[in-house]
Amino acid sequence: MKGQEWYQADDVAEEYDEKRFSQGGRLIDRREKQAVLNAVGPVEDKQILEIACGTGRFTAMLAERGADIIGLDISGPMLQQGRERAQSAGVADHLEYMRGDAGRLPFPDDHFDVVFAMRFFHLADTPEEFLQEMCRVSKDQIFFDTFNRYSTRSLYNWALPMGSRLYSGSEVHSLLEATDLELVAAEHDWIFPYGLYRELPNRVASTVRWLDGSIRSLPLGDRLASVSYWDARL
């Protein structure tokens, strides 16, 4: 797994949200949360597992909406940030954080209604194995995102601390086929890479985001997207 030691450093966990989701990064945070909500729909009383939950952006959001949710991550410092977030949001009694390996999930078969992972598959050396394990513990729905190979993401991938695994559409479809998943919806977004937005003040980033959307609305615009959100069923 790429970046395993890096993500477990205390200073990385403490600075993670501030570095990624302040300034123009707020647009990324908002869009990712909307992608999760679009996929899982009404969450009240659903049993949900988030793989690689990190600092708990999504777990806290879904707990606030009535989900019965567990967040699993390999990083103790990231989980601590998540617990502090849950306390601040007043939902600490409505979710659980667990430290564990996404390749060996400590749950029985068919345990959750929804299993999802955001910002995870770009780190996976063996994505099929992780996806199979997610399918094992899910009754129905799997949701995840990927960074796309033929996009602007590839232009700066070399500069990232541990790089990213980039996927073509055909590779994702092969993963779904290998794990007997049926794709029910896919969204493609972000012509410009995340790194650009993070460096811009929110007002400037909003203008860039408008331009991004204009490009995506053109014929073949989705093929230029750097991120895809995949919603599948067993």
Integer Cα distance of 200 and 204 in angstroms = 6
pTM of the model: 0.93
Neighbours of 88 (CB within 10 A): 10
Integer Cα distance of 179 and 133 in angstroms = 9
**Contact present, 20 and 85 (Cβ < 8 Å):** no
Q: What is the pLDDT of residues 111-132, one digit of tens each?
A: 999 999 999 999 898 999 999 9
* Domain architecture of the chain: domains with CATH: 4-156+165-231 (3.40.50.150)
Report angle CA 151, 22, 144 to the nearest 5 degrees.
45
Q: What is the pLDDT of residues 155-203, one digit of tens each?
A: 766 666 556 899 999 999 999 999 999 999 999 999 998 889 999 999 9
